[in-house]
Amino acid sequence: MSLHPTIAASRVEGTRVYNLTGEKLGTIDDLVIDKRNGHVRYAELEFGGFLGLGTDRFPLPWSMLTYDTEKDGYVVNLDMDQVRGGPRHAADAPRDYSEAYGRGVYDYYGAPWAI
């Protein structure tokens, strides 16, 4: 964790995500924001593919991501199978921005939902 408490969204996008054993899970493609209270709801993970085209996006609750300065990436306590078995949407599909969808993501990962 850096000494400074904030980071630009554009710097988060493209950052790698690792699990606790150091395995690279993917990279963050986008953040999804709650417009009412300005909370980051989740980070959307992608696993790669040419320019990320055609690959699915896997929303992770933001609270599960911890920045690791040595790795220059985020660490989550998840393995690949948990993520691959979780909520996903096609990269080019219209996103479901509803609260019900968000709650489903949080429920899957057992993260507390807080408005």
- Nearer to a second copy by Cβ, of 67 and 82: the residue is 67
CB 56 within 8 A of CB 90: yes
The 8-47 site mask, x for binding a second copy (CB under 8 A), equals: xxx-xx----------------xxxxxxxxxxxx--x---
Q: Indicate which single residue of 69, 98, 110, 112 sits in contact with a second copy (rule: CB under 8 A).
A: 98
Paired tokens of 78: 């998840």
- Nearer to a second copy by Cβ, of 4 and 70: the residue is 4
Alpha carbon distance 111, 115 (integer Å) = 13
CB 49 within 8 A of CB 56: no
The residue length of the chain stands at 115
Q: How far is the CB of 57 from a second copy (least distance, A)?
A: 10
- 104 burial level (CB within 10 Å; 0-12, 13-18, 19+): middle
Per CB under 8 A, does 88 bind a second copy? Answer: no
> Given the rule CB under 8 A, which residues bind a second copy?
1-2, 4-10, 12-13, 30-41, 44, 62-63, 67, 95, 97-99, 102
